[in-house]
């Protein structure tokens, strides 16, 4: 058959937001890990859906590694930005990282879709995706296609909807 089109996605967001857990859910069964630990630096993960073969750069969100993110901006076709929707205190930090990303040379003036996951929707003090998008200032993003989905990386809820949106933007 036809070889699927390949897409590079950069997966960013603060530490503990659930990036690795989300990718682990999306990966094929035989590639899943059973215990997920905080990412050191970054790792490269592969997953696919019916139309695209994704190579995901799973970046560490820890402060000391966030300077690595920008090195992958240029080669990515889409961005997944994961927010812990139960961590209102650090949402200002997440917003600050997003603002830096959006103003970067290799991102601004480029047509690059950004998918947000308002992750950990299962936790009691999580905010809705609408509230999350207002706390993150997403309505102010005018020059990029973006979309936000509430998600639970433990059960997979919301993940496919998000990936389908991203696929439609890239394919």
Q: Is 62 marked active-site? A: yes
Three-state DSSP string of 61-126? CCHHHHHHHHHHCCCCCEEEEEEECCCCCCHHHHHHHHHHHHCCCCCCCCCCCEEEEEECCCCCCC
For the window 38-77, what string marks contact with ligand GTP as x by the rule CB under 6 A? xx--------------------xxx---------------
154 appears as a binding residue in the annotation: no
Region near Mg ion per CB under 5 A, out of 12-20, 49-57, 80-88, 149-157: 12-20
For the window 63-102, what string marks contact with Mg ion as x by the rule CB under 5 A? ----------------------------------------
Structure-token pair, residue 13: 């967001």
**How far is the C-alpha of 156 from the C-alpha of 125, rounded, in Å?**
19
81 versus 169: smaller Cβ distance to Mg ion: 81
**How far is the C-alpha of 162 from the C-alpha of 67, rounded, in Å?**
26
Q: Which candidate, 116, 115, 98, places its Cα nearest to that of 107?
A: 98
119 versus 129: smaller Cβ distance to Mg ion: 119
77 versus 120: smaller Cβ distance to ligand GTP: 120
Task: List the single partner that 145 binds among Mg ion, ligand GTP, none, CB under 5 to 8 Å by kind.
Answer: none
* φ and ψ of 83, to 5 deg: -120, 135
Active site (catalytic) residues: 62
Where do contacts with ligand GTP occur on this chain (CB under 6 A)?
Answer: 13, 15-21, 36, 38-39, 60-62, 82, 119-120, 122-123, 152-154
């Amino acid at each position: 058959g036809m070889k699927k089109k390949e897409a590079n996605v950069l997966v960013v967001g603060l530490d503990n937001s659930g990036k690795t857990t989300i990718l682990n859910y999306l990966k094929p069964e035989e590639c899943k890990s059973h215990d997920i630990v905080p990412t050191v630096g970054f790792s490269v993960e592969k997953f696919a859906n019916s139309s695209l073969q994704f190579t995901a750069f799973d970046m560490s969100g820890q402060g000391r590694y966030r300077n690595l993110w920008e090195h992958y901006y240029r080669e990515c076709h889409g961005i997944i930005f994961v927010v812990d929707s139960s961590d209102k205190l650090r949402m200002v930090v997440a917003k600050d990282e997003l603002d830096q990303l959006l103003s970067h040379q290799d991102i601004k003036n480029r047509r690059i879709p950004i998918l947000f996951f308002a992750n950990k929707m299962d936790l009691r003090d999580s905010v809705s995706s609408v509230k999350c998008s207002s706390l993150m200032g997403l309505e102010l993003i005018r020059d990029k296609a973006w979309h936000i989905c509430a998600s639970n990386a433990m059960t997979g809820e919301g993940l496919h909807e998000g990936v389908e949106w991203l696929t439609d933007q890239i394919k």
